[in-house]
A and B are shown apart, each in its own frame.
Chain A
């Protein structure tokens, strides 16, 4: 089975090489999508063996980059697709924890969860509270099962069938909730597995602000009314 990892990267010139190289032992091929970065993320990615570097000419957001990456991976005949953050917060050695579930045919989609026993490293309390609120928001506003423990997980794996079927539209950060909703409403079999996510001063500095949660809610609302 061909496993292809997808790493959306925005201004990750300094970190992309380390992240990609850490992932390569656990995948057959990697696709890095430089999402219109201002820095040289593209060239940094292009020079790494077994990495396909794709470039968005302008920034379209993490969801858009994942969509481009997913289509590329399907084109490259992937059997399993893994979504990974470029900023080094995900632990690449846990990729097999996700792909294993699909390989052994226990699920079509696997979500890595930060809240299934493995303590996130350095996650601020405010972020933890916000994610708890996000979980309730997903339940009431989106109709996503409360059993999903991580409302905003970015570390996930899909088999080919699921990747073809799950047609998410959100371009920016709201794609995570949207994918959860589409998957849990579909007939696809899904599962959560515990993963560790590391928060460093660097990742917090560049990462999402707590107020971005409002943006996500707003985009989901707009999404309801937006056709196509």
Chain B
């Protein structure tokens, strides 16, 4: 089927890229192997769709496609939550910067003294 050919072509492409990156010393051998395992299992599942069915029934899920969908949803949930947390961390860093900037003016900004007229405004 056409979809199988397209999928396998895709997997082969990323497989090639993975080892190219290993050759360029961008990723370690361990990382390249792990990714390759993922791509090759992709090829295996594409060639033998029955495999997912067996896995699915092993986990007690009706169809293989359902298993993949469940996993995809779970992984996406996890990734999105992780993004939220990363965002929170950046927010805190921004706050830290803003605080430091604000406090750096503390010593130069003495309060208006009591005998200034109440409508005193500095020239800022």
Contact = CB atoms under 8 A, between A and B. Distances in A.
Contacts of A33: 102
B102 A226 contact: no
A49 B116 CA distance: 8
B57 to A, nearest CB: 35
A54 B105 contact: yes
A187 B95 CA distance: 28
A173 interface: no
A57 B91 CA distance: 14
A228 B101 CA distance: 20
B92 A52 contact: no
A29 B111 contact: yes
Contacts of A53: 109, 111
A147 B120 CA distance: 47
Contacts of B81: 225
Given A58-B98, A67-B99, A222 B111 contact: no
A181 interface: no
Interface string A12-42: 0000000000000000010001001000000
A43 interface: yes
B88 interface: yes
B122 A68 contact: no
A57 to B, nearest CB: 6
A64 B95 contact: yes
B85 A56 contact: no
Given A47-B121, A50-B114, A51-B112, A171 B95 contact: yes
Given A57-B98, A171-B95, A222-B84, A68 B103 contact: yes
A62 to B, nearest CB: 12
A54 B92 contact: no
A98 to B, nearest CB: 23
B102 A171 contact: no
Given A169-B92, A226-B85, A64 B98 contact: yes
Interface in A178-228: 222-223, 225-228
A226 B89 contact: yes
A226 B112 contact: no
Contacts of B88: 222-223, 226
Interface of A: 29, 33, 36, 43, 46-58, 60-61, 64, 67-68, 71-72, 75-76, 169, 171, 222-223, 225-228
10 contacts: A43-B121, A46-B122, A52-B106, A52-B111, A53-B109, A54-B102, A56-B98, A72-B103, A76-B106, A225-B81
User: Which 8 A/B pairs are nearest by Cβ-Cβ distance?
Assistant: A49-B114, A68-B99, A226-B88, A64-B95, A60-B95, A47-B120, A222-B88, A54-B102
